[in-house]
Amino acid sequence: MVGIDEVARHAGVSTATVSRALSGNGHVSPATRLKVEASADELGYVVSSTASSLASGRMKNIGVVVPFLDRWFFSSVVEGAQKSLLKNGYDLTLYSLTDGGAERRSVFDHFLLRQRVDAVIAISLELTATEVTSLHALGKPLVGVGGPIEGVRTLMIDDVAVARLATEHLLALGHTRIAHIGGNKDLDLDFHLPTNRRVGYENALSTAGIEPAAELFMTADFTMRGGYQAAKQLLGNPHDRPTAIFAASDEMAIGAILAARDLGLVVPRDVSVIGVDDHELADFFGLSTIAQFPQGQGAKAVEILLDQLSPGKHLTPNLNTPMPFELIVRSSTAAPGD
């Protein structure tokens, strides 16, 4: 096994310089860093994770906590975080809380509080004051993705504004009877995303002088199947059928497109459909949507954490960082009857 002292001799620098260059901790000039990396590659030197953690007090591992693994948004945020962590020499440990309360308590009371991770990213989880205090007491930086958490750096999109933009797009096309497929009560626990998107939808209608109609609102579970079932109920009514549907996620919007086709309706001639996310299948279905760039959210979360872990902290003082979103118009929306 090649040792750090051999790399130092080969590169003509001290072992301390080799350690700083390969760990990324401490100042090393770019030229010296390249020379050390070249020597390490040539000699086949691999940094010992155990030795590195003993020297730095860190495991070079970030814990990521998500409510689901089988949803595109969450997996995309994780993918963005993982790519950024790999570039910076960090591992990722993923904790899925699909089973709810007992599993969540176990993760926050035991796994994350052990010296296994250097920092934590919580995706779409509204952490309790106790969970935040426990992590901060051990000096573990924490970043939330999805909504505000008191005392924690968070990344979030304005869900009310997102829904308002989607609805305004349909209104601008001339639609006045616009249905909304939102999330059910089980999905309204953390950051109240379904409620906020319904508020944005209703605000846009009210601003346009249209009274939101209770019969044009259906709930689903943010899946294609759920969107399909909800849209069948909305579009199956032969009287006063909506001419447009705003779904709170792309997966539900895609389900609505499939339901319309099964009912013999043409999208967008008979019904326009718009969603939120810019899911990987959105372009395939010609789905108009509000893109929220989840991989970028994961990468930004890592950027903030690594900044907190660096010796000299230079974070901006703002706790809540707004993330961008953008209207993407495709073929699923058009003027009524077009």
Q: What is the DSSP string of 45-114?
A: ----HHHHHHHHS--SEEEEEES-SSSHHHHHHHHHHHHHHHHTT-EEEEEE-TT-HHHHHHIIIIITTS
- Provide the pLDDT for residue 316: 55
pLDDT at 4: 81
Q: pLDDT digits over 248-284, tens only?
A: 999 999 999 999 999 999 999 999 999 999 999 999 9
SS3 129: helix
The answer to whether the pTM exceeds 0.75 is: yes
Q: Residue 264: left if φ>0, alpha if ψ -120 to 50, beta else—which one?
A: left
CA 314, CA 38: separation in Å to the nearest integer?
30
Q: With a cut of 70, list the residues of the chain below it in pLDDT.
A: 1, 24-26, 47-58, 99-100, 113-115, 187-189, 311-318
Residues contacting residue 233 through CB under 8 Å, at least 6 positions apart: 218
Residue type, 309: L
pLDDT at 267: 97
Q: Given this model, what pLDDT does residue 318 score?
A: 65
pLDDT (0 to 100) of residue 243: 97
On whether the CB atoms of residues 314 and 307 are closer than 8 A, the answer is yes
Q: What is the pLDDT of residue 302?
A: 94
pLDDT attached to residue 130: 86
Task: Note the pLDDT of residue 127.
Answer: 86
* Residue 113 structure tokens: 């509080």
Residues, the chain: 338
CB 43, CB 11: distance < 8 Å: no
